Structure 1
Amino acid sequence: MDLPHHGYRATKPRARAAPPAADSVLFEDTSSVGPAMNSQGYYTPGYNMEGASNIQEGPGMNNLFADPMASAAMMYGSSLANQGKDMVNKEISRFMSVNKLKYFFAVDTRYVLKKLMILMFPYTHQDWEVRYHRDTPLPPRQDVNAPDLYIPTMAFITYILLAGMALGIQKRFSPEVLGLCASTALVWIIIEVLVMLLSLYLLTIHSDLSTFDLIAYSGYKYVGMIFVVMGGLLFGSDGYFVALAWSSCALMFFIVRSLKMKILPSLSSDSMGTGSSAKPQLRLYVTAATAIFQPIIIYWLTSHLVR
């Protein structure tokens, strides 16, 4: 009887020794930043979530932009952007002067109305001389004789819209046909300007005409083209040819009188200085050829729109 009694008393202390070890694991403090280990010696996951949040909210992240290196990088990037902008503006200025382009769009309503009246009824206009102020031509809104690019641009857009309407009325409209009409009109202007520049260069004719001036004078034909297409749509083929004759004569008269002040400013001085009239005759031929060429382009670009 004593042996079982001693065996029971021997195992009882082992059963009571287990809870203290378990209590030490369950109530271990895991709120510290350092990693905690469980009873098996492994790191407990998620132990330092509070510590990670403290690192993210530290003064290093909040003062990132106050860092001298970051500020220097931002200033260097801004300097590079400004240099790139200056380079782009410089390259554009090589081929196109922005200030000069603004001059051709310096118009107002009064100028536009007067210019349109001169383009359609040039016979009543008397003074064709372009006015200057300190060797600089006055802007179009101050001088009705100054060339502009506003009327040619608006007339070109109106011509394309009117061409689309004419093709739609005749049930021949398609995006391809309208695009071909617009590109053809634009290409003819480019060809005309290039031929004019080449003629002035080969004939060594010195004039006050710039490339923008030639584009403006060539673009005024779109006003006559609008009048021709409208006459054809409203009154048929008879109205088309009447409008074509009127707009052609008016445009030729306008071109001759306008270019005369630019290409033929000093016929007498040239003939007196060289003793020959060849140079004035060449200038006269260039002016006449430019004027005669206008009705041909008008007919070419409008005849297919009216049937």
Structure 2
Amino acid sequence: MYDNFASGPGADLQGPRQPSPFGSAFYGAGSGFIKSGLGAYGEKYFGSNSEFQNNVSRFFSNPQYYFNVNDQYVCNKLKVILLPFLHRGHWTRIAEPVGGRLSFKPPVQDINAPDLYIPFMAFATFIILAGFSLGFVGKFSPEALSMQFTRAVVGWVLQIAVLKSILSSLGSGEVPFLDVASYSGYAFAGLSITIIMKLIWGSTYYFIMPCMSLCMGIFLVKTAKRIIFTEARNYERRSSRQNYLLLFVAIAQFPFFFLLGRIGA
């Protein structure tokens, strides 16, 4: 019954609607304006986002790169860090073309590549040895160990700040932050050796500590020279300021080792 009523005459009183040319014009203009606005906003957002990612990758690089190591690399790297004057090979890093640009090989393939495995392991070893040292002198407590941990972290940060500022002043401001962190953290390997010798033969501490400081200073100077002359885009050739700043990097290792090596004092 309702079907017949709806299909009868007079059911469609208005008839089919005609499209308005003005409405379609306004709709097309509005749609085009919205699309262009969204496109510009998206381009601006993604452009700034890609720029942000480029800045992050430039300063922090790829964290996984710094843990691509093996046992052979760790042993050879420790020899270079602890005995840099015996290293007869070159100090430059090995580059290879990747995706149309040059990229450095990972640590497992290049002894001169920076890594974070050795610094973190050396840092943890140093804290453990500091706990043993505090126990041997009867001063062990969670508060004392926490204080030693804080001193080590602050020392690492200061080491990073000094090395980063010197490299930046010498025209190597684009060195990734994690590179500088790894170079600075290698000092804890020498500190661990110093504490071990102090625990075994206490009198050898005042001989081992200057030796490890000197070795770390030589390693950092060699590394900084490589960065300045082979990896930096802008630098001053034969500048006396370079020699003074590099000498400061080497000398700064002595108070660094002395202050962190005085455990329980």
TM-score, normalising length: structure 2: 0.70
How many angstroms apart in 1 are the aligned matches of 2:164 and 2:252? 15
Instruction: Provide structure 1 residue ranges, at least 5 long, that are not aligned to the other structure.
Output: 1-89
How many angstroms apart in 2 are the aligned matches of 1:249 and 1:164? 25
How many angstroms apart in 1 are the aligned matches of 2:158 and 2:83? 27
How many angstroms apart in 2 are the aligned matches of 1:145 and 1:158? 23
Deviation at 1:266, TM superposition (A): 8.8
Contact 1:155 1:223 in 2 (8 A): yes
How many angstroms apart in 1 are the aligned matches of 2:148 and 2:236? 45
Contact 1:207 1:263 in 2 (8 A): no
Instruction: Provide structure 2 residue ranges, at least 5 long, that are not aligned to the other structure.
Output: 1-49
Deviation at 1:271, TM superposition (A): 5.7
Per-residue CA deviations over 1:18-75 (Å, capped at 9, x if unaligned) read xxxxxxxxxxxxxxxxxxxxxxxxxxxxxxxxxxxxxxxxxxxxxxxxxxxxxxxxxx
Aligned to 2:95: 132
Deviation at 1:282, TM superposition (A): 2.6
Contact 1:130 1:137 in 2 (8 A): yes
Aligned to 1:184: 151
TM-score, normalising length: structure 1: 0.61
How many angstroms apart in 2 are the aligned matches of 1:154 and 1:231? 18
The counterpart of 1:114, out of the listed 76, 98, 105, is: 76
Q: 1:192 to 1:234 in 2, by over 3 A?
A: same
Aligned to 1:39: none
Deviation at 1:213, TM superposition (A): 1.2
Tell me the amino acid that sits aligned with residue 62 of structure 2: K
Deviation at 1:194, TM superposition (A): 2.3
Q: 1:246 to 1:216 in 2, by over 3 A?
A: same
Per-residue CA deviations over 1:215-264 (Å, capped at 9, x if unaligned) read 1111011011011111111111x210121122112111111111110023
How many angstroms apart in 1 are the aligned matches of 2:140 and 2:73? 35
1:195 aligns to what SS in structure 2? helix
The counterpart of 1:283, out of the listed 221, 228, 242, is: 242
How many angstroms apart in 2 are the aligned matches of 1:299 and 1:255? 17
Tell me the amino acid that sits aligned with residue 253 of structure 1: I
Q: 1:225 to 1:286 in 2, by over 3 A?
A: same
Q: 1:161 to 1:185 in 2, by over 3 A?
A: same
How many angstroms apart in 2 are the aligned matches of 1:266 and 1:108? 25
1:171 aligns to what SS in structure 2? coil
Contact 1:189 1:219 in 2 (8 A): yes
Tell me the amino acid that sits aligned with residue 302 of structure 1: G
Q: 1:109 to 1:283 in 2, by over 3 A?
A: same
Aligned to 1:3: none
Tell me the amino acid that sits aligned with residue 208 of structure 2: A
Could you tell me the percent identity over the aligned residues?
29
Deviation at 1:209, TM superposition (A): 2.3
Contact 2:92 2:230 in 1 (8 A): no
Matches within 5 A, 1:204-243: 205-206=171-172, 209-236=175-202, 238-243=203-208
Aligned to 1:123: 85
**RMSD between aligned alpha carbons?**
2.8
